Amino acid sequence: MALSESLSPGNMKQAHLLLVGLAVLVFFGVAYIYGLDKQKLSPVEMFWMQKDKQNALPIAEESRDYMIPSDVELKNMSNTQWKQIYWKYINRLQTLCKDVVRVGKLKDGGKEICADEHYRPRAPCIIYSFGLNNDFSFDNEAVKMFGCDVFCFDPSMKMESKRISDHVWFYNWGLSGENTVDKQGWKMKTLGTIRNELGHSNVNNIL
């Protein structure tokens, strides 16, 4: 006897509805997964896109490196667009690294460095470390691991510029888009000025 013959009309109707429901769930499940796979925005970018759709920036193609707009373009952008550019740039994978090592503390104070054979720092090398908050754990460990000279910068620390050890130097400067002293009395310098004052203008392997 066929299964359909053993079911009452009411049971057959319930079975039919169940099959239809399962088909709908499968359809939307596949569509959802496919949509996630195609999603190009990070959660932070999605937040700003929804917050200010009128000023939303076009999404760069995933296969292309994301380039920072020119100064002229930046001056004509809103604060929301600046935030989008910032998060889009720092969250975009620009180099594939298979061996990322944490140097320094696991929490605040440590930083990641790519230790792949092609990218691993090798002495003689120079590392610029911005923002210490009185924590030299990254800088000291980077010297031990890679043998680099480390130049540390933090204008918020109440410390005069000085040499910390054989391979670590500290400067009470901050990184900025212009050479100035801000409202807090912090000395701010451009990257070009810092490199020039430290005699690194012609050095290419600065991390």
Q: pLDDT tens across 124-176, in order?
A: 899 999 988 888 899 999 999 889 999 999 999 888 999 999 999 999 999 98
Same domain, 189 and 137: yes
Is there a domain that residue 69 lies in?
Answer: yes
Is there a domain that residue 74 lies in?
Answer: yes
Predicted local confidence at residue 61, as pLDDT = 43
Predicted local confidence at residue 2, as pLDDT = 42
CB contact at 8 A, 95 and 114: yes
Same domain, 84 and 126: no
Same domain, 84 and 149: no
Going by pLDDT thresholds of 50, 70 and 90, the confidence category of residue 74 is confident
Q: pLDDT tens across 102-116, in order?
A: 888 777 778 888 888
The closest of 31, 50, 32, 33 to 42, measured between CA atoms, is 50
Same domain, 86 and 129: no
Number of domains in the chain: 2
Overall pTM surpassing 0.75 (yes/no): no
Q: Where are the beta strands (DSSP E) in 19-158?
A: 100-103, 111-114, 126-130, 149-153
Q: Quote the domain boundaries for residue 73.
A: 43-91
Is there a domain that residue 138 lies in?
Answer: yes
Q: Where are the beta strands (DSSP E) in 2-125?
A: 100-103, 111-114
Is there a domain that residue 52 lies in?
Answer: yes
Tell me the CB-side half-sphere exposure of residue 182, using CA atoms within 13 A.
13
CB contact at 8 A, 167 and 144: no
Is there a domain that residue 32 lies in?
Answer: no
Predicted local confidence at residue 99, as pLDDT = 86
For residues 177-188, give the mean pLDDT: 90
**Mean pLDDT over each residue of the chain, to the nearest integer:** 76
Supply the DSSP symbol for 53.
Answer: G
Same domain, 186 and 126: yes
Return the residue matching tokens 């800088």.
139
Same domain, 87 and 128: no
Predicted local confidence at residue 121, as pLDDT = 86
**Domain end (from 91, 111, 131):** 91
Is there a domain that residue 202 lies in?
Answer: no
CB contact at 8 A, 189 and 175: yes
Is there a domain that residue 204 lies in?
Answer: no
Distance CA 123, CA 141 (A): 14
Is there a domain that residue 5 lies in?
Answer: no
